[in-house]
Structure 1
Amino acid sequence: MQILQIGKAMWSYDYEISSLTLIDEAGSLFSLTPPPHHREGEIILTNNSLVIDGYNYLNIPLNKLEQIYLGFDDVYKRSLVKNNGIFCQPLRLRYREGDNINVIYLIVDHRFFGTKNQLWFDTLKQLLSD
């Protein structure tokens, strides 16, 4: 198994983001506050899976990915991040696990002025097109 990329990820399931309250949303707009997330860990991309290892463990085989999307939607809104998302857009992954479809939102290698989500999006897109 060849490791293609490694980083630090903050992530949440879609139902966790959609359950944020107005107070949670307002709190994320202050300086030095990271974007909303419920879990953190190391993210590892191999040629056949995406693994997030931390307090929680998640392994997504690439052949189970149904959609990758970079940007905001009706669940993870621009209003959730400071500066209306100029420096940070979530990476949304939709994947199949048995009969269920799961959706997670990732923020990879978050820094004060941006993330590496674009790099991860481009790499995943390239892997899935091959």
Structure 2
Amino acid sequence: MQILQIGKALWSFDYEIAGYTLADGTGALFSLTPPPHHREGEIILTADSLVIDGYNYLHIPLDKLEQIYLGFDDVYKRSFIKNNGLFCQPLRLRYKTKEGTNTIYLIVDHKFFGTNNQLWFDTIKQLLSDE
């Protein structure tokens, strides 16, 4: 298994973020805290899968991805992130499971001024187009 990219991920399922309110994250808008998330771990991208390993483990085969999207939506709102998301946009992955479909939101390699989400988005998109 050849590792194409590796980083640190902050992530949540869509239903977790859906329960998030602006009041929950008021401190995050003004302090050095990271964007809203419920889990953290190391993220690894290979030619055929994405793995997040930390307190929780998640394995997503790339052939199970239904959608990859970079940006804000009805669930992960721009108002949840300081500077209205100027330096940070979530990476949304929707993928098939035995039970149906799951959606996660990722923030990869969060830094004070930005993330590596664009790089990960472009790389995954390229891998999917090569199939």
Using the size of structure 2 for normalisation, the TM-score is 0.97
For residues 75-125 of structure 1, give each alpha carbon's deviation from its aligned partner in whole angstroms, at most 9, with x where no partner exists.
000000000000000000000001410000000000000000000000000
Query: In the alignment, what sits opposite 1:23?
Result: 23
The letter of the residue matching 1:79 is S
1:26 CA displacement = 1.7
The letter of the residue matching 2:92 is R
Query: In the alignment, what sits opposite 2:69?
Result: 69
Q: Is the 8 A contact 2:22 2:80 kept in 1?
A: no
Provide the C-alpha distance between the structure 2 equivalents of 1:28 and 1:103, rounded to a whole number of angstroms.
23
Provide the C-alpha distance between the structure 1 equivalents of 2:25 and 2:31, rounded to a whole number of angstroms.
13
Percent identity reads: 80
Provide the C-alpha distance between the structure 2 equivalents of 1:11 and 1:102, rounded to a whole number of angstroms.
13
1:30 CA displacement = 1.6
1:1-130 to 2 correspondences below 5 Å? 1-130=1-130
1:36 CA displacement = 0.2
Q: Is the 8 A contact 1:41 1:52 kept in 2?
A: yes
Backbone CA RMSD of aligned residues: 0.8
Provide the C-alpha distance between the structure 2 equivalents of 1:92 and 1:22, rounded to a whole number of angstroms.
20
Q: Is the 8 A contact 2:87 2:114 kept in 1?
A: yes
1:14 CA displacement = 0.3
Write out the 4+ residue segments of structure 1 that deviate beyond 3 Å after TM superposition.
Answer: none
Provide the C-alpha distance between the structure 1 equivalents of 2:115 and 2:121, rounded to a whole number of angstroms.
11
Q: Is the 8 A contact 2:64 2:96 kept in 1?
A: yes
Aligned length, in residue pairs: 130
For residues 29-72 of structure 1, give each alpha carbon's deviation from its aligned partner in whole angstroms, at most 9, with x where no partner exists.
02201000000000000000000000000000000000000000
Using the size of structure 1 for normalisation, the TM-score is 0.97
Provide the C-alpha distance between the structure 2 equivalents of 1:22 and 1:34, rounded to a whole number of angstroms.
14
| Structure 1: gaps (5+ residues) | none
Provide the C-alpha distance between the structure 2 equivalents of 1:39 and 1:67, rounded to a whole number of angstroms.
21
1:21 CA displacement = 2.8
